[in-house]
Amino acid sequence: MIYTDPDGNFWNFVIGGVLGGISGWQIGKAQGAKGWGMFGYIAGGAAIGVVTAGLAEGVAGAFVSSNTVGASMGAYATAGAVAGSFSGAGFAALSGNTIGKGALIGGLIGGLGGAVSGYLQYNQIGVSMERSMANRSQWMACKDCAWTVNKPEVVVKRGMLDYGSPLYDALVAINDFNPLAIAVNSMYGYLYGRDTAGRPLSGMEATANLLSLAVPGGRGAGIAAKGVTQAEYTFTKTAAKHLTEVVKRGENAGQLARPYMNSPLTIQEIMSTSKGTLDATFKGGMNWRVPGTFRGSQGIWELGINPKTNVIYHFNFTHP
């Protein structure tokens, strides 16, 4: 029998084990452990990390259809609380502290972090699934777009609580300090070159983020490093001409013709719909064609970009 792991759950256990081992090493170091004693701390921490990952996975998985924001937050909060309690108790025991206190603090932190993760997951996955269902007939009718997945709608304007809104971005930023989210996001960074929110995340940044967990105060350094290497998009001279073009007449007179070119989030959303297709000529170029809306009009987002250099050579919204 061959076991497949299409969701990549295996990596959650690996990451949990590695992070737990690092925490165990930190505790062992603080306790002055050496040799086999240190090995015991590392092994104990790794075991706690693996079991914690399993608990989080198992409890979250029990809530299969979290199709409302409340259900999603509840599922992830419960998973976070259970895993956090176990983790807190385990590491408290390892470091000789009160187990009950460790479990309580771990549970609270895990539950809070889980609730935030649940909110983010719902907005990114749940809403796009709802949109996908709502637009299924349109998608199926669009033969040119049959290969696109997940996000049939790429919208420019958003409400306060919508995916991509300032509040949503703030919650994403808070989650940058959630160890579980850091681990999962790093895994996504290694595998897909972006985090679960669709933001570009290189392997180097992912490694820096993981290492920052093991160094006291290192998370701030990790965030700072990420800020320095945060992807900026640049345009070819030809494409850049459309950045400042203005509509002369009609309802949108005086407005930019392609305001979306100034929206990194729109670019990231388009890129998050699929892996894209390799361009035949532009070096390292990948192309996306994604159905969506712009100024209330249905059409196709067309994006051509080199994801390594973030150079955009084509970005347009067209009506077939």
Partner 1 sequence: MKFEIEYTGVSEDRLLVYRIEEYSFDMEPWIYELDFEIAINTITLAVVDKKIIQLNGFCGLNKKMKSNFEVPKSQKGILKVLDDLEPGIGSYSAGKEDLPIYVNTNTGWVCIGNPEKKGNAVEFVNSCVAVIDDDKGFVSLWLKPDRLPDI
Are 33 and 41 in contact by the 8 Å Cβ rule? The answer is yes
For the chain, how far is it from start to end, CA to CA, in angstroms? 48
Does 252 interact with partner 1 (rule: CB under 8 A)?
Answer: yes
Does 310 interact with partner 1 (rule: CB under 8 A)?
Answer: no
Does 233 interact with partner 1 (rule: CB under 8 A)?
Answer: no
Q: Which two tokens stand for residue 265?
A: 């989030």
* Contact range with partner 1 by CB under 8 A, out of 25-33, 146-154, 187-195, 245-253: 245-253
**Least distance to partner 1, CB of residue 277, Å:** 12
What's the rounded Cα separation, in Å, for the pair 146 and 255? 32
Does 299 interact with partner 1 (rule: CB under 8 A)?
Answer: yes
* Contact range with partner 1 by CB under 8 A, out of 47-55, 179-187, 189-197, 312-320: 312-320
Nearer of residues 160 and 253 to partner 1, judged by Cβ = 253
Q: Which two tokens stand for residue 308?
A: 């390594």
Placement of tokens 């914690």 in the chain = 52
Does 247 interact with partner 1 (rule: CB under 8 A)?
Answer: yes
Residue among 18, 239, 267, 270 that touches partner 1 (CB under 8 A): 239
What's the rounded Cα separation, in Å, for the pair 126 and 119? 10
**Coil/strand/helix, residue 112:** helix
Does 138 interact with partner 1 (rule: CB under 8 A)?
Answer: no
Q: Which two tokens stand for residue 266?
A: 């729109």
What's the rounded Cα separation, in Å, for the pair 101 and 232? 44
Contact footprint for partner 1 (CB under 8 A): 144, 236-239, 241-242, 244-253, 255, 257, 279-282, 294-297, 299, 302, 304, 313-314, 316-320
